[in-house]
């Protein structure tokens, strides 16, 4: 069955397939769009997201690159400046550090330093997060680092719907957009609503309404937080789950509105606690909504260690459902 027919009938789709369909749509809609990255062509992508696209669009639109992030990210920036619409895939976010100069000192700054004469309509996709036993060098969650940089927009789709529809508005943005796709979510499945054909990439979204405590989260911590909310509901605690999904710029309005109503907040972030996106959100809440809080903020983050390889240690290092539930219980004065 063709992808368009599947969408029309609202059939289930994996997060991986949603990413693939988003890329396919972009390439079909705009002849200026092309995909480049390591193993995106013949191999079909490290996580099989781009499988089949080379056969469909050819090597001019699906370009395998050398193992040289600084070179091909720089080439993507140049292509964007020249009027193309490049989608650059970096295999995992730890490899993006090899192109940090290009991302931070070129893509993010050229529009400003040129006085608005040049735009950089570049999208960089990269896998992020841990949970697949890929050890310390391939289990980073660096989206919070990039959310520190003015000039970038940072997206973290935590649902199949967002994975399917975030790419199109990202490509339409005149400034560089980074999309962090969590590796554990690629196999996640959900049914796409055929009535939905686009999503907002400027705001957070309330995924579950509640009155007692707000859980702010994103990425692979979203399903864990939703499960925690179900557990808490069985104990009479109604948790509101807010999917941040846009890490820069943060949607302060949605965050503040939720916390003002519930008066308690747990922030779940797979990044390390020190200097994390959770720290930034916590600081903003203290600055702007301190007197609305009935209890201290709670943060559930990864342990301050390089992510272990061993499965049981990796699990212990990452935010998990029991810690989220316990953090919410503590704010309600329960053990």
Q: How far apart are CA 93 and CA 37, in angstroms?
A: 13
Whether residue 186 contacts residue 156, with contact meaning beta carbons closer than 8 Å, is answered with no
Do the domains 205-331 and 3-191 match in fold?
Answer: yes
Q: How many residues does the chain have?
A: 335
Q: Which of 69, 143, 161, 314 is catalytic?
A: 69
Whether residue 323 contacts residue 224, with contact meaning beta carbons closer than 8 Å, is answered with no
Q: What is the pLDDT of residue 7?
A: 47
Among 36, 151, 147, which residue's Cα sits nearest to residue 86? 36
Averaged over successive runs of 10 residues, the pLDDT of the chain (335 residues) comes to 52 95 97 97 95 97 97 98 97 96 97 95 97 92 96 98 98 97 97 94 98 98 98 97 98 98 98 96 97 97 96 96 97 83
Estimate the crossing angle of helix 321-331 against helix 221-233, to 10 degrees: 50
Tell me if the domain spanning 3-191 has CATH number 3.40.50.970.
yes
What tens digit of pLDDT does each residue of 112-136 get?
Answer: 999 999 999 999 999 999 999 999 9
pTM of the shown model: 0.95
Q: Which of 138, 270, 280, 314 is catalytic?
A: 138
Among 47, 1, 50, which residue's Cα sits nearest to residue 22? 50
Among 137, 47, 131, which residue's Cα sits nearest to residue 94? 137
Q: What is the pLDDT of residue 1?
A: 45
Among 122, 225, 105, 223, which residue's Cα sits nearest to residue 167? 122
Q: What is the pLDDT of residue 2?
A: 53
Among 114, 173, 152, 332, which residue's Cα sits nearest to residue 238? 332
| 138 flagged as catalytic | yes
Stretch (H or E) spanning 205: strand 205-208
Tell me the domain boundaries of the chain. 3-191, 205-331
| 112 flagged as catalytic | no
Whether residue 245 contacts residue 251, with contact meaning beta carbons closer than 8 Å, is answered with no
CATH of 205-331, one of 3.40.50.920, 3.30.930.10, 2.115.10.20, 3.30.43.10: 3.40.50.920
Q: What is the pLDDT of residue 155?
A: 98
Q: What is the pLDDT of residue 5?
A: 52
């Amino acid at each position: 069955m063709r992808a368009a027919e599947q969408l029309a009938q609202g059939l289930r789709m994996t997060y991986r397939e949603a990413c693939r369909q988003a890329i396919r749509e972009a390439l079909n809609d705009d002849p200026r769009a092309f995909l480049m990255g390591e193993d995106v062509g013949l191999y079909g992508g490290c996580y099989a997201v781009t499988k089949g696209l080379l056969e469909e669009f050819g090597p001019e639109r699906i370009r395998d690159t050398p193992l040289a992030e600084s070179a091909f990210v720089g080439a993507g920036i140049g292509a964007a400046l020249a009027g193309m619409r490049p989608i650059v895939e970096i295999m995992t976010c730890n490899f993006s550090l090899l192109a940090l100069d290009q991302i931070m000192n070129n893509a993010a700054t050229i529009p400003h330093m040129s006085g608005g004469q040049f735009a950089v309509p570049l999208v960089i996709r990269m896998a992020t997060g841990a949970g697949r036993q890929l050890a310390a060098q391939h289990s980073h969650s660096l989206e919070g680092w990039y959310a520190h940089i003015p000039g970038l927009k940072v997206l973290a789709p935590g649902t199949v719907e967002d994975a399917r529809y975030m790419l199109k508005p990202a490509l339409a943005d005149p400034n560089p957009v980074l999309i962090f796709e969590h590796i554990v979510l690629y196999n996640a499945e959900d049914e796409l609503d055929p009535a939905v054909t686009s999503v907002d990439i400027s705001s957070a979204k309330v995924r579950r309404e509640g009155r007692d405590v707000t859980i702010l989260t994103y990425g692979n911590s979203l399903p864990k937080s939703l499960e925690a909310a179900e557990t808490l509901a069985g104990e009479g605690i109604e948790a509101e789950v807010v999917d941040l999904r846009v890490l820069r710029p943060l949607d302060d309005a949605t965050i503040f509105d939720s916390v003002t109503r519930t008066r308690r907040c747990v922030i779940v972030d797979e990044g390390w606690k020190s200097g994390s996106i959770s720290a930034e959100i916590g600081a903003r809440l203290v600055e702007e909504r301190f007197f609305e809080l009935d209890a201290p903020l709670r943060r559930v983050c990864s342990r301050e260690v390089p992510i272990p390889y061993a499965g049981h240690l990796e699990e212990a290092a990452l935010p998990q459902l029991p810690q989220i539930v316990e953090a919410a219980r503590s704010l309600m004065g329960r053990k």
